[in-house]
Amino acid sequence: MGGTERQTHELLIGWLVVTLPNREVTQEQLHSDSFCFCRVSPLVHAVGWGVLRDLRTVRHALNEAMAPWSLPLSSLLKHTDCLQRANIFCNVVQGLHHHHHHPVRSRLWKRNFRAVSQGVGQLLSHQPRAGKCAASVCSSSLDGQNTTERLWSVYDETKRQTGDLISVITANSVDSDTIFANNEMSLRDIEIYGFDYDYTLAFYSSHLHTLIFNIARDILVTNHRYPEGLRKYEYIPNFAVRGLHYDVQKALLMKIDAFHYIQLGTVYRGLHPVPDEEVIAMYEGCHVPLEIMSDFYGKSSHGHTMKQFMDIFSLPEMTLLSCVNDFFMRHNIDYEPVHLYKDVKEAIRDVHVKGIMYRAVEADIEKYICYGEQSHAVLKKLSAQGKKMFLITNSPFDFVDRGMNYIVGKDWRDLFDVVIVQADKPSFFNDRRKPFRRVTDKGVLLWDRIHRLEKGQIYKQGNLYEFLRLTGWRGSKVLYFGDHIYSDLADLTLKHGWRTGAIIPELRKEIKIMNTPEYVHMMTWLQSLTGLIEQMQVHRDPTSRAVVEEWIKERETKDIFNAQFGSLFRTYHNPTYFSRRLSRFADIYMASISCLLNYDFQHTFFPRRTPLQHEAPYWPEHGSTGLEACHILK
**Alpha-carbon dihedral 407, 409, 415, 416, rounded to 10 degrees:** 70
Together in a domain, 531 and 402:
no
pLDDT of 566-584, one tens digit each? Answer: 888 988 778 999 999 999 9
pLDDT of 423-436, one tens digit each? Answer: 999 999 998 999 99
pLDDT score recorded for residue 572: 76
Task: With cut-offs at 50, 70 and 90, classify the pLDDT of residue 519.
Answer: confident
Q: Which of 491, 506, 521 is the last residue of a domain?
A: 506
pLDDT score recorded for residue 248: 93
Calculate mean pLDDT across residues 252-262.
94
- φ and ψ at residue 340, rounded to 5 degrees: -60, -45
The one-character DSSP state at 386 is T
Together in a domain, 379 and 327:
no
Residue 171 lies in a domain: no
Closest alpha carbon to 368 in 200, 204, 592: 204
Together in a domain, 399 and 516:
no
Together in a domain, 482 and 536:
no
pLDDT score recorded for residue 604: 97
**Alpha-carbon dihedral 358, 360, 364, 369, rounded to 10 degrees:** -50
pLDDT score recorded for residue 174: 87
Cis peptide, bond prior to residue 426, ω within 30 of zero: yes
Closest alpha carbon to 245 in 196, 182, 289, 198: 289
Together in a domain, 376 and 408:
yes
How far apart are the C-alpha atoms of 78 and 19, rounded to whole Å? 11
Together in a domain, 500 and 529:
no
Calculate mean pLDDT across residues 131-136.
35
First to last CA, the chain: 35
Together in a domain, 421 and 446:
yes
pLDDT of 386-433, one tens digit each? Answer: 999 999 999 999 999 999 999 999 999 999 999 999 999 999 999 899
CATH number of the domain bearing residue 393: 3.40.50.1000
Q: Which of 343, 363, 383 is the last residue of a domain?
A: 363
Together in a domain, 387 and 500:
yes
Calculate mean pLDDT across residues 174-192.
95
Together in a domain, 416 and 476:
yes
Together in a domain, 235 and 334:
yes
Task: Please give the tally of structural domains in the chain.
Answer: 4
Residue 177 lies in a domain: no
Residue 399 lies in a domain: yes
Together in a domain, 48 and 8:
yes
- φ and ψ at residue 7, rounded to 5 degrees: -60, -40
- φ and ψ at residue 256, rounded to 5 degrees: -125, 140
Calculate mean pLDDT across residues 367-389.
95
Burial of 31 (0-12, 13-18, 19+ CB in 10 A): middle
- Which residues span the domain enclosing 462? 185-203+369-506
How far apart are the C-alpha atoms of 279 and 335, rounded to whole Å? 20
Residue 173 lies in a domain: no
pLDDT score recorded for residue 521: 80
Q: Where are the alpha helices (DSSP H) in 67-206?
A: 71-74, 80-97, 103-124, 130-138, 147-169
Name the active-site residue from 33, 177, 196, 417.
Answer: 196
Query: Taking a C-beta distance cutoff of 8 angstroms, is the pair 578, 154 a contact?
Result: no
How far apart are the C-alpha atoms of 625 and 185, rounded to whole Å? 13
Residue 153 lies in a domain: no
Residue 196 annotated among the catalytic residues of the structure: yes
Residue 23 lies in a domain: yes
Residue 176 lies in a domain: no
Calculate mean pLDDT across residues 28-57.
46
pLDDT of 341-352, one tens digit each? Answer: 999 999 999 999
Helix (H) or strand (E) holding 316: helix 314-330
Helix (H) or strand (E) holding 492: helix 491-495
Together in a domain, 424 and 498:
yes
Residue 167 lies in a domain: no
* For the chain, percent of residues with pLDDT exceeding 90: 51
Task: With cut-offs at 50, 70 and 90, classify the pLDDT of residue 42.
Answer: low
How far apart are the C-alpha atoms of 114 and 91, rounded to whole Å? 16
Concatenating the DSSP letter of every residue in 555-570 gives T---TTT-TTT--SSB
Name the active-site residue from 177, 198, 483, 587.
Answer: 198
Residue 198 annotated among the catalytic residues of the structure: yes
Given a cut of 60, is residue 382 above it in pLDDT? Answer: yes
Q: Which of 329, 363, 397 is the last residue of a domain?
A: 363
